[in-house]
Amino acid sequence: MPKRKKLTTAQQDYANTAKALEPKRPVVKNVLMAFVVGGLICTLGQILQFIFINYFGFEESQAGNPTAAVLIIISALLTGLGIYDHIAQRAGAGTAVPITGFANSIASAAIEHRSEGYVLGVGANMFKVAGSVIVFGVFSAFVVAIIKILINGVGGL
Amino acid sequence: MEKLIWAFLVGGTICAIGQIMMDVFRMTPAHTMTTLVVTGAVLGGLGLYEPLIEFAGAGASIPISSFGNSLLKGALNEARQNGIIGVLTGIFEITSAGISAAIIFGFIASLIFKPKG
Task: Please check whether residue B52 touches A, CB under 8 A.
Answer: no
Residue B49 lies in a domain: yes
Q: What percentage of chain A has pLDDT greater than the value 90? A: 69
Per residue in B10-41, pLDDT tens?
999 999 999 999 999 989 999 999 999 999 99
**Mean pLDDT score, A57-65:** 88
Residue A155 pLDDT exceeds 60: no
In a domain, B59, yes or no: yes
CA distance A45 to B8: 10
pLDDT of B72-82, one tens digit each?
Answer: 999 999 999 98
The verdict on residue B70 lying in a domain is: yes
Which pLDDT belongs to residue A154? 52
What are residue B68's DSSP bridge partners?
A: none
Q: Model confidence over B85-100: pLDDT tens digits?
A: 999 999 999 999 999 9
Q: Does residue A9 carry a pLDDT above 90?
A: no
- Average pLDDT, whole number, for chain A? 89
Partner-chain contact B11 A115, CB within 8 Å = no
Assess B86–A contact: CB distance below 8 Å, yes or no: no
Please, which residues have CB within 8 angstroms of residue A125's CB and are 6 or more apart in sequence?
A109, A110, A112, A113, A116
Q: Domain span at residue B20?
A: 2-112
Closest residue in A to B21 (Cα) is A93
Task: Give the separation between CA B70 and CA B48, rounded to whole angstroms.
Answer: 13
- B117 in a domain, yes or no? no
Cα separation, A46 vs A48, in Å, equals 5
Query: Does B69 map to a domain?
Result: yes
pLDDT of residue B114: 86
Contacts of A64 in chain B (CB under 8 A): 61, 94, 97
pLDDT of residue A11: 85
pLDDT of B13 reads: 96
Count of structural domains, chain B: 1
- CA B34, CA B15: separation in Å to the nearest integer? 13
* Chain B residues touching residue A107 (CB < 8 angstroms): 102, 105-106, 109-110
Q: Please, what is the end-to-end C-alpha distance for chain A in angstroms? A: 41
DSSP per residue, B36-100: HHHHHHHHHHTT-HHHHHHHHTHHHHSBTHHHHHHHHHHHHHHHHHH-TTHHHHHTTTTTHHHHH
pLDDT at position A156 over 60: no
Tens digits of per-residue pLDDT, A83-106? 999 999 999 999 999 999 999 999
Minimum CA–CA partner of A129 in chain B: B30
In sequence order, what are the beta bridge partners of B63? A98
Nearest Cα residue in chain A from B116 = A82
Residue B113 and residue A59: Cα distance in Å, rounded?
35
Distance CA A149, CA A36 (A): 39
What would the DSSP string read from start to end of A77-143? HHHHTTHHHHHHHHHTHHHHSBHHHHHHHHHHHHHHTGGG-IIIIIIHHTTTTHHHHHHHHHHHHHH
Cα separation, A105 vs A100, whole angstroms = 9
Whether B14 is covered by a domain: the verdict is: yes
- Within a domain: B58: yes
Q: Give me the pLDDT at residue A2, please.
A: 55
- A29-49, pLDDT tens digit by residue? 999 999 999 999 999 999 999
In angstroms, the CA A93 to CA A104 distance is 12
Residues of A in contact with B116 (CB under 8 A): 82, 85
In the structure, what pLDDT confidence band is assigned to residue A17 with cuts at 50, 70 and 90?
A: confident
Q: What angle do CA B113, B116, B117 make, to 5 degrees?
A: 160
Max Cα-Cα span within chain A: 69
